[in-house]
Amino acid sequence: MMKKICAWCRKDLGVDHSQGKNNAPISHGICPDCYRKLISFKAKSMRDFLNQFSHPVLLVDSEVKIISANKEGLAVSGKKIEEIEGALVGDVFDCKYSSLPGGCGKTTHCKGCTIRNTVRDTFKSGVSQVKVAAYQDLHHETGEHKVKFLISTEKTGDKIFLRIDEISEQNSSNDLIGSL
């Protein structure tokens, strides 16, 4: 028996009496309200659909290339939609390893990238991930910082919704300098 919650709004969806994967106490689905938002996107542009969500949301493909983003996702990236469409997430968020030979996804450091691995795992398994901690070393206007992201993923067709639930940024002495 496991509790079911909406992967997007966290609303309680009741109890599922079937056996969950790895005896997990919580399973994720989608509530009727979020489903209506998802279904209604056919009459809207993808950006309009994504803008219904209050957290930063990026729509990505299996290679972790950005297809679209909501306004909160653009604000967090500090870039315009034209700058991020088709770009890899590491390039958009200025991962310090994305500037190495080979670029984002091709360096030895990329094998351990939690964002990349979480998106790929969700793409392959179809299982949503919720509030996964991902630590990234990013270049920033004020210097290099380690940033902690809490991310969630949801597979829809051959695309992944990548939601950024929380961001906290630290400077080199591990002092918190800001958060979302």
CA distance 164 to 130: 10
Residue 109 above 70 pLDDT?
A: yes
Considering 10-24, 86-100, 141-155, 165-179, the range whose residues carry the highest mean pLDDT is 86-100
Q: Is the pLDDT of residue 177 over 50?
A: no
pTM of model > 0.75: no
Average pLDDT over residues 71-98: 90
- The token pair at 161 is 């919704």
When mean pLDDT is compared over 16-25, 40-49, 69-78, 98-107, the highest value belongs to: 69-78
Residue with tokens 């209604």: 40
Q: Which of 6 and 28 is assigned the larger pLDDT?
A: 6
Phi, psi of 49 (to 5 degrees): -60, -50
Domain limits of the chain?
Answer: 1-43, 44-179
Mean pLDDT (whole number) for 70-75: 95
What percent of the chain lies above the pLDDT cut of 90? 39
Q: In the CATH hierarchy, which top-level class contains the domain 44-179?
A: alpha beta
Could you give the C-alpha distances from 64 to 40, 55, 98, 159, in angstroms and in order? 25, 19, 13, 9
Q: Summarize the confidence of residues 5-19 as an average pLDDT.
A: 78
Q: Do residues 176 and 168 make contact, with C-beta atoms less than 8 angstroms apart?
A: yes
Structure tokens at 132: 């996964």
CA-based torsion, 108, 111, 112, 116: positive or negative: positive
More confident residue, 178 or 55: 55
Dihedral sign for Cα atoms in the order 58, 176, 105, 93: positive
